[in-house]
Structure 1
């Protein structure tokens, strides 16, 4: 089976329940790769075409699983491989509550997950070795991260306060009692 029938078949296998499905408990046989990709900008593609139905993307995002560096969509009876260019989510909205060390940064990603940066949802910034361009991330759930959209990162920079980063002066932001470095000055 391939094409749209394969994607619809996967959707039909997902048990209906409140909250996220327990994909960590599902270990079905690997059924091969499908032509599905999550681009760096958070767009989901199927057979090279963007998936325009947000509820479908949201549903697929709930059955993501990562094993040994590989990405899968998993149901209780089937596991198929997909491609993820960077992170499976993109943080597209930032809401700020409070100030200083009491500040809380609430993120919403492109799949409507809402979470607060802090001990359970840490932020990190990696730097491209050649261009020195920052790539900021925040943990969504488990080991899954969201790339922080450039506009949202600019908002974080506006909120930044001086801090120490690896023994050097830098900038960072507070959220939920944790200082998250954004970069060295």
Structure 2
């Protein structure tokens, strides 16, 4: 079968799992079919053969069949095919932050560029690393199947409004945010 986005989407739709929540990606383990000329840019665009994927519905569907495997590579997976794609940074972006509650009892909600809302907590933990060779922060939330959504600058600034000071096990001050009963470190305290 030709590895065009429309054909991959059709395979998922024909699997009988389309429209019933997330596809059962953990049950799909086909052999590698090869590389497909899809690249997800740092700004969240899905590029196929040098052009942005025109159909938002396909991008949303592909975000549900994308996984990162133990080799660090990203794959679009259907019941019968597995195609390697290129990802420049995180495959998804978190662009909107909402907060319910306050202090240690609050929960942070991040909405991704594909319309999915994630509650930061045990299932979707938040971490703030750094880009290699830089002091630029790289805030991400775990989505599923090895995928992360990187907080865009506006969402990161919104997050900063909810920072409080905590302590490490040895008593050193750290800065972080509460969500879902967990404290997520985002930097060193004073």
How far the C-alpha of 1:30 sits from its partner, in A, is 1.7
1:119: which partner in 2? 122
Tell me the TM-score normalised to structure 1 length.
Answer: 0.91
* Residue of structure 2 aligned with 1:47, choices 32, 49, 63: 49
**Taking structure 1 as reference, are residues 85 and 166 closer, same or farther at Cα in structure 2, changes over 3 Å only?**
farther
Q: Write out the 4+ residue segments of structure 1 that deviate beyond 4 Å after TM superposition.
A: none
C-alpha separation between the residues in 2 aligned to 1:34 and 1:50? Answer: 14
In angstroms, what is the RMSD of aligned CA positions? 1.8
| 1:169 and 2:173 matched | yes
| 1:59 and 2:57 matched | no
**Structural mapping, 1:129-148, within 5 Å:** 129-148=132-151
2:35: which partner in 1? 33
> Unaligned stretches of 5+ in structure 2?
none
Aligned residues: 183
On the 8 A contact 2:67/2:145 being kept in 1, the answer is: no
3-state secondary structure, aligned to 1:13: helix
**Structural mapping, 1:75-86, within 5 Å:** 75-86=78-89
**Taking structure 1 as reference, are residues 92 and 174 closer, same or farther at Cα in structure 2, changes over 3 Å only?**
same
On the 8 A contact 1:165/1:183 being kept in 2, the answer is: no
> Unaligned stretches of 5+ in structure 1?
none
C-alpha separation between the residues in 2 aligned to 1:13 and 1:43? Answer: 23
C-alpha separation between the residues in 2 aligned to 1:141 and 1:6? Answer: 24
C-alpha separation between the residues in 2 aligned to 1:111 and 1:44? Answer: 11
1:9: which partner in 2? 7
**Taking structure 1 as reference, are residues 128 and 11 closer, same or farther at Cα in structure 2, changes over 3 Å only?**
closer
How far the C-alpha of 1:78 sits from its partner, in A, is 1.1
How far the C-alpha of 1:51 sits from its partner, in A, is 1.8
3-state secondary structure, aligned to 1:58: helix
3-state secondary structure, aligned to 2:42: coil
C-alpha separation between the residues in 1 aligned to 2:38 and 2:146? Answer: 20
C-alpha separation between the residues in 2 aligned to 1:76 and 1:129? Answer: 36
